[in-house]
Amino acid sequence: MSDQNRPSIKDDDQYEALRDKGYNKQTAARIANADSSAQPTDRPNAYEDWSKEELYERAKDLDLEGRSDMDKPALIAALRGKRYGDQN
């Protein structure tokens, strides 16, 4: 494919560096075109956005005791390694 027919790449230098490292064209283009100004979330583990059922399943996966008696805030606290009610 000639350069004229190649889809637009936002960061040609990064694209070429990735290709040199062995990345395929599609992956290199996706990374080079990613929005580098995107900010990481300030809540990497945003349990507040999960449903109670999702929290319960995660607690079950981790074998947290007492999970069936917990409400959503208690599940979140337990998943974060805190006892419900701790202010620390």
Kindly report the length of the chain: 88
The answer to the question of residue 15 being in a domain is: yes
Element (H, E) at 72: helix 72-79
CA-CA distances (angstroms) from residue 80 to 27, 47, 57?
Answer: 34, 9, 14
The answer to the question of residue 86 being in a domain is: no
Per-residue pLDDT of the chain (88 residues; tens, 9 = 90+): 455 666 688 888 888 988 998 888 888 888 888 765 554 555 555 888 889 999 999 899 888 999 999 999 999 889 888 554 444 4
pLDDT at 4: 61
pLDDT at 28: 83
| Cβ atoms of 15 and 34 closer than 8 Å | no
Domain range for residue 23?
A: 1-36
| Cβ atoms of 67 and 59 closer than 8 Å | yes
Closest CA to 25 of 47, 48, 7, 4: 7
The answer to the question of residue 85 being in a domain is: no
The answer to the question of residue 27 being in a domain is: yes
For the chain, how many structural domains are there in total? 2
pLDDT at 36: 58
The answer to the question of residue 55 being in a domain is: yes
The answer to the question of residue 87 being in a domain is: no
